[in-house]
Each structure stands twice: as structure tokens, then as C-alpha cells.
């Protein structure tokens, strides 16, 4: 994986994960990760697993699945530069959703042990990793808040039209 593959092609580079780092710094961070490949249809993680690894999609596409009474529900598509597994990475709780490859895909995996090695050897890069991860998580929470606000405002607007 090239260092520039950590962000999506349709995003400006400053928005991509770790895009504020120099290429050699990204290579250093990547040296603490493991690459994995998944064939189309392969299950990457299962709901309820107790693995704390964080995944970064480098190629291909995956889907996040929730289990419902009517079967699996695909709630999100992940592409190059997208992250998943961040909740378990931080809180150590079982996985809240599954992830399956919808086309052949490659990811890099940051395990807790890999992150500890990064933290001890390259503390500044470890802080950059966490701060950038926090920025992405904050953006997700804000987007979720906006969706909730829009959903709550929609019935009020509809009532005013009647």
C-alpha cells in the first residue's frame, strides 16, 4: 500500500486519515500494521467478536452489517481510506456489527500490540494517529447529530404545511 492510499480519491487530501503526515511518517506508522486481503463475500469481522484491532481499508469495498429480526442489514459501505473497528479499539467491548467484503478488498490492521509498539518507539506519530482518529470519530458523531436533528425537524415542517 502506498502512503497516499490512506485517503479516498474523492476527498481532498487534508481530510484523509493521516494525510497531515509526511510520506515517510506514514510509512513508519504502516510498519506497525499488518496487511490482510479478503475475497468478495468473506466475513472480515463478526458481531460479538472480542478483537480490539482497528482496520483501514486500502482497496476494494466492504459493508457494515447489523443483525435484525429480518436478517442482516447493510448499513454502510466502506471504501479506500475508511476505518472500522475503532469502537472496540478504544473500549475493548465486543464488536457491535459485522463487516463483509462486497468485492475483493485489502486492509491494514492496527492491533493494540502494534499501537503499543508505535507508542513506545514513535510517541509523536502515535499521538498524531490518535488525534486524527479522534477527528474522524468527532465528524461521525456530528454527522449523526445532524441526521437526528433533520429527522426530528421533518415532522414539524410537515405539520406546518397542513
Q: What is the pLDDT of residues 90-126, one digit of tens each?
A: 999 999 999 999 999 999 999 999 999 999 999 999 9
Residue-range domains of the chain with CATH: 3-161 (2.60.120.10)
Confidence of residue 32 (pLDDT cuts 50, 70, 90): very high
Residue of 98, 102, 116, 9 lying closest to 46 (CA atoms) = 98
DSSP structure string for 60-111: S-EEEEEEETTEEEEEEEE-TT-EE-HHHHHH-PPPSSEEEESS-EEEEEE-
What pTM value is reported for the model?
Answer: 0.81
Rounded distance between C-alpha atoms, residue 34 and residue 18, angstroms? 17
Residues 26-53, mean pLDDT to the nearest whole number: 96
How distant is the alpha carbon of residue 86 from its chain centre? 6
Residues 59-74, mean pLDDT to the nearest whole number: 93
Residues 122-134, mean pLDDT to the nearest whole number: 96
Inform me whether the pLDDT recorded for 162 exceeds 70. no
Neighbours of 15 (CB within 10 A): 14
Q: What is the pLDDT of residue 86?
A: 93
CA dihedral 69, 75, 78, 83 (to 10 degrees): -80
**pLDDT tens for residues 53-62?**
999 999 999 9
Between residues 159 and 77, the one the model is more confident about: 77
The whole-chain average pLDDT of the chain stands at 87
Amino acid at each position: 500500500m502506498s502512503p497516499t492510499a490512506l485517503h479516498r480519491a474523492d476527498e481532498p487530501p487534508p481530510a484523509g486519515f493521516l494525510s497531515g503526515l509526511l510520506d515517510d511518517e506514514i510509512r513508519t506508522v504502516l510498519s506497525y500494521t499488518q496487511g490482510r486481503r479478503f475475497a468478495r463475500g468473506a466475513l472480515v469481522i463478526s458481531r460479538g467478536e472480542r478483537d480490539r484491532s482497528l482496520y483501514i481499508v486500502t482497496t476494494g469495498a466492504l459493508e457494515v452489517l447489523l443483525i435484525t429480526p429480518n436478517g442482516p442489514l447493510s448499513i454502510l459501505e466502506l471504501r479506500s481510506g475508511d476505518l472500522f473497528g475503532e469502537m472496540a479499539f478504544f473500549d475493548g467491548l465486543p464488536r457491535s456489527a459485522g463487516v463483509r467484503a462486497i468485492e475483493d478488498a485489502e486492509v491494514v490492521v492496527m492491533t493494540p500490540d502494534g499501537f503499543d509498539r508505535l507508542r513506545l518507539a514513535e510517541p509523536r506519530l502515535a499521538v498524531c494517529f490518535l488525534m486524527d482518529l479522534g477527528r474522524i470519530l468527532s465528524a461521525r458523531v456530528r454527522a449523526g447529530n445532524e441526521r437526528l436533528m433533520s429527522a426530528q425537524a421533518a415532522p414539524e415542517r410537515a405539520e406546518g404545511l397542513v
